[in-house]
Amino acid sequence: MATILGARAVSLEKEIGSLEAGKRADLIAVSLDQPHAAPMYDVYSQLVYALKASDVGDVMVNGRWIVRERRSLTLDWPAIAAKAGEFAPGSRPASGGRRSTRPRAGSAFGSPCRP
């Protein structure tokens, strides 16, 4: 109900908001067989408060599967790993030798940034 009402609120109920032929479909399939998924009193509360990202097994976006059985169908893992390797300690940054000026994760909480 929340999905179709949200679609109506933005005048998109003819395109989204329910699973019907011709509409765009985004959906996920979640596993409920883990201890943290029980007991099931309210499905909406369970989805929001108890389930985790690791409980998601399948993802469809705009009618196209992008994750099946917890495996990405759209990402190029070797290319991602190669790019991540460029940022490994001791490697030379792609920026021509200069390090990023972005603050480190801890600096947002007031802890000092250390090189």
Assess whether pLDDT exceeds 80 at residue 108: no
pLDDT of residue 112: 45
pLDDT at 73: 94
In a domain, 3, yes or no: no
What is the per-residue pLDDT across 81-101, written as a single tens digit (0 to 9) for each? Answer: 999 988 877 665 555 555 554
CATH number, domain with residue 70? 2.30.40.10
pTM beyond 0.85: no
Domain span at 35 = 23-91
Residue 96 falls inside a structural domain:
no
Q: Residue 111: its pLDDT value, please?
A: 42
Q: Residue 64 above 70 pLDDT?
A: yes
- For residues 10 and 62, what is the distance between their CA atoms, to the nearest angstrom? 18
Number of domains in the chain: 1
